[in-house]
Chain A
Amino acid sequence: MSVLGEALGRRVPDPARRVRRIEPTRRRLPLTLHDLRELWTYHELLFFLVWRDVKVKYKQTAIGASWAILVPFTQMVLFTVIFNRALHVKSEYHVPYPLFSYTALLPWMYFQSCLGASSMSIVGNQNLITKVWFPRLLIPLAAVFAPVLDFLLAFCVLVGMFVWYGRTPHWHAVVIPVFLLLALLTAFGVGLWLSALNVRYRDIPYALPFLTQIWFFGTPVLWGITAVKPSTQRLLGLNPMTGVIDGFRWSVLGRGLPHYTLYAESLGIGLVILISGLWYFRRVERYFADLI
């Protein structure tokens, strides 16, 4: 207790004197206030983990970060040729199909790389997990922050496409971060499940390509939500990425009406995944070092 603290007659928590009890956990809540405080004291480590992932990602590649642009751009071209030109899939509100699909590909690619990164995150950092303690949540958390950079790079292409098509952004664009946040939240929730499950069941890397593929086709990336009946829309809302992508399109392209119920539904489901993911992750994290 510091002198000042004593003078004020109040306990000032001095980290050098605080006693921590190490014992078998009997935890009820997935995340207590104390856990949040602890996470906060390690926020710099989160920064360094993200920074490391970003820095290392394109090391020793010939074209480096250009991959972050090249991949979604090529996908957009392919999708336009196959789905729009050959199969006559239509965009919504007469938006050029390349622009239409690219706006959806951005959050989708972000989401997909988050899943890939977070599913391997705990196992991939086993040298840390088995040798040093820090809040384990930082690892899957870093895995959803690092791909944000790729997202931003790919976003520059979107700006270029706006110029190409002679469009001006709509004021809706101010809510883009909200939908990015929703994507991050969903990715983090799913990532918590995948990263923790992968410690025990190494099936995850095999199952993940299936999962993302099915998810991709169940998400309105190639097509628009207005292409299906309202009742089906409601059903699609159970997929939190539907809300993310539709909302992203709405805010970027500035066409159509916002589907508030859809966003609310997606947010709700996203939170359910996140909270259940937190619950599972926190329940098994104490065995990580023993199981890895």
Chain B
Amino acid sequence: MGDFAIRAEGLAKQYRIGQMHSSVDTLRDHVVHSLRNLRSERRPRETIWALDGVSFEAREGEALGIIGRNGAGKTTLLRLLSRITEPTKGYADVRGRVGSLLEVGTGFHAELTGRENIFLNGAILGMRRAEIVRKYDEIVEFAGVETFIDTPVKRYSSGMFVRLAFSVAAHLEPEILIVDEVLSVGDAEFQKRCLGKMESFGRSGRTVLFVSHSMPIVARLCPRLLLLDRGRLVADGPAESVIGQYLHGEHGTATRQEWSDPATAPGDEYVRLRSARVVDASGATSDVVDVADEVGIEIGFDLLKSDLAVFPWIDIYSEGGQHVFSAMDTDPVWQEQREPGRYVSTAWIPDHLLNDGTLHVTVSVKSPLLGRKPWRHAEVESALTFQVVEQSEGATARGHFAGRIGGPVRPLLRWTTRSGSTADEPLVAHPSGE
């Protein structure tokens, strides 16, 4: 242990523009191009660096996540490390066998049966025949396709296909596993098993390199993350801080906003918003919070006149724009008119309430209008963004479920159950007085 598994030094990959995707040039194009080049002086073709001098080291047994926007170079990096394509500059030393899983079901043939595809796909992924024979029963069982194993996979439902394909890949045992966004397929129950498999893979001392767009899954599997942006490595560190940095760059919003000039700060002649922050229980600004932790939304504002009652207000939206909830400070003091001055209020969102994912916060300061919607003095839409992740080992509302849990909230509820024989136990409990 302690040795490196992957050591990349200045890895770079250059593409000619237009080469990245389809480049069906014909011989004629080539000839014409060459002739043209003979006459005019040779013009360098336009190129881009899909990956530009990336250096990092992964230790043996480490689970390393790679995040970044589309086109940041994540897939290019994985392709280089899997030897699918060659770097233009730089090098990477890789210790041990590499298994790459850039797609589920690579090399599956629709006409072949499930059994035949297990062998074909296993061989393509680098397994030996004897190894496949040994794990065959396990693979079939994991996929849960026993009854259809001799049916051509073209008759499989897409769910069955994915389960079988992932199952083969999950039984690959290389020293280094490279995975690109494949856990996003399949149903929740199957995803749970896949995640479990990935976690046990990490525990067995193997190195995992994992690309995903799903921050909750990345945070769950990988304690350390690399953040790529336009081919460059811009961050390398603990998951929480890197995700924070990513979200900061991604949305142009932050976990902290300040309006230093009172004249231009959002608001009207009554109220000016001056600051907004996402804070953890200790009061420190926080990008990423665990589902098991309380999170605070802090709003700082200046009250300029005392002839109206005002109160702070927040709205939480999910990444997809779904309104999760609104909340206002219901303390009776806000029903009175208050002295002009600086007020800093914090709304505490309880632990075990929010589901994991990205959340946007709209902050505002309002006044009650009798019988009508409150009057907004100041409002900043999506002023703050933060990420709820799940890294805690303790009891959460997840229980033993491992897949994505739907819905914007995931409260940890108190459950009670009565039980008895079917005859005695009434379906609806009656008050004892009846």
The answer on A and B forming one complex is yes
Decide if B83 is an interface residue (CB 8 Å cutoff). yes
A135-B398 Cα distance, complex, nearest whole Å:
44
Name the one of B20, B83, B112 contacting A133, with C-beta atoms under 8 angstroms. B83
Number of A-B contacts (CB under 8 A): 114
Q: Which of B64-72, B101-109, B196-204, B371-379 contacts A (4 or more CB under 8 A)?
A: B101-109
A203-B27 Cα distance, complex, nearest whole Å:
7
Q: Which of B89-97, B215-223, B233-241, B266-274 contacts A (4 or more CB under 8 A)?
A: B89-97
A132-B124 Cα distance, complex, nearest whole Å:
8
Cβ-defined contact, A17 with B95, below 8 A: yes
Report chain B residues within 8 Å CB of A6: none
A203-B28 Cα distance, complex, nearest whole Å:
9
A16-B86 Cα distance, complex, nearest whole Å:
22
Known: A59-B111, A127-B106. Contact between A134 and B126, CB under 8 A? yes
Known: A25-B86, A45-B123, A132-B82. Contact between A20 and B102, CB under 8 A? no
29 residue pairs of the A-B complex, CB under 8 angstroms, read A16-B97, A17-B96, A18-B96, A19-B93, A19-B95, A21-B92, A21-B94, A22-B83, A22-B94, A23-B91, A24-B87, A45-B124, A47-B123, A48-B124, A51-B120, A128-B124, A131-B103, A131-B107, A132-B84, A132-B106, A132-B125, A133-B83, A134-B124, A201-B26, A286-B85, A286-B86, A290-B15, A290-B20, A291-B19
Cβ-defined contact, A129 with B84, below 8 A: yes
Report chain A residues within 8 Å CB of B26: 201-203
Decide if A52 is an interface residue (CB 8 Å cutoff). yes
Name the one of A24, A52, A55 contacting B88, with C-beta atoms under 8 angstroms. A24
Cβ-defined contact, A23 with B27, below 8 A: no
Report chain A residues within 8 Å CB of B112: 52, 55-56
Decide if A60 is an interface residue (CB 8 Å cutoff). yes
Report chain A residues within 8 Å CB of B125: 132
Report chain A residues within 8 Å CB of B89: 24
Decide if A130 is an interface residue (CB 8 Å cutoff). yes
Name the one of B85, B95, B116, B124 contacting A18, with C-beta atoms under 8 angstroms. B95
- 8 A Cβ contacts from A241-264 to B: none
Decide if B301 is an interface residue (CB 8 Å cutoff). no
A135-B82 Cα distance, complex, nearest whole Å:
12
Report chain A residues within 8 Å CB of B246: none
Report chain B residues within 8 Å CB of A230: none
Closest Cβ neighbor of A44 among chain B residues? B129
Decide if A166 is an interface residue (CB 8 Å cutoff). no
Distance (whole angstroms) from the CB of B287 to the closest CB of chain A = 34
Decide if A15 is an interface residue (CB 8 Å cutoff). yes
Decide if A11 is an interface residue (CB 8 Å cutoff). no
Report chain B residues within 8 Å CB of A19: 93-95
Report chain B residues within 8 Å CB of A131: 84, 100, 102-103, 106-107
Decide if A289 is an interface residue (CB 8 Å cutoff). yes
A122-B173 Cα distance, complex, nearest whole Å:
27
A132-B121 Cα distance, complex, nearest whole Å:
11
Distance (whole angstroms) from the CB of A282 to the closest CB of chain B = 12
Name the one of B87, B103, B123, B129 contacting A22, with C-beta atoms under 8 angstroms. B87
Decide if B24 is an interface residue (CB 8 Å cutoff). yes
Cβ-defined contact, A21 with B27, below 8 A: no
Decide if B30 is an interface residue (CB 8 Å cutoff). yes
Beyond known contacts A22-B80, A55-B112: 13 more, CB 8 A cutoff: A16-B175, A19-B95, A48-B123, A52-B116, A60-B111, A128-B106, A132-B100, A132-B125, A200-B25, A202-B24, A202-B26, A290-B85, A291-B19
Name the one of A15, A23, A48, A59 contacting B87, with C-beta atoms under 8 angstroms. A23
Cβ-defined contact, A15 with B97, below 8 A: yes
Known: A17-B96, A24-B87. Contact between A56 and B102, CB under 8 A? no
